[in-house]
Amino acid sequence: MKGLENAIRNLNSLDTRMVPQASAWAVNRVAAKIISVATRQVAQNTVAGDNQVKGIP
């Protein structure tokens, strides 16, 4: 029980902003990855010029 009490005490001592901030970091990391993948896909499928070649030159 001593370990459990110590864990509870440590959790209670955490700054109340840490969990929301970590959640925001995780959401931003996922969003950045999604934007990167979407941008890459759009660039690959873009037709540039008259020769109908896919991809941005």
pLDDT tens-digit map of 6-29: 888 877 777 777 778 888 999 999
**Nearest 5 degrees, angle CA 25-CA 10-CA 18?**
20
Which helix (H) or strand (E) segment is 54 a member of? strand 53-54
Question: What is the value of pTM for the model shown?
Answer: 0.54
Decide if pLDDT at 38 tops 80: yes
In a domain, 42, yes or no: yes
In a domain, 32, yes or no: yes
Boundaries of domain holding 53? 20-57
In a domain, 7, yes or no: no
- The number of distinct structural domains making up the chain is 1
Residue 45 CA to residue 21 CA, distance in Å, equals: 36
Mean of per-residue pLDDT scores for the chain: 82
In a domain, 9, yes or no: no
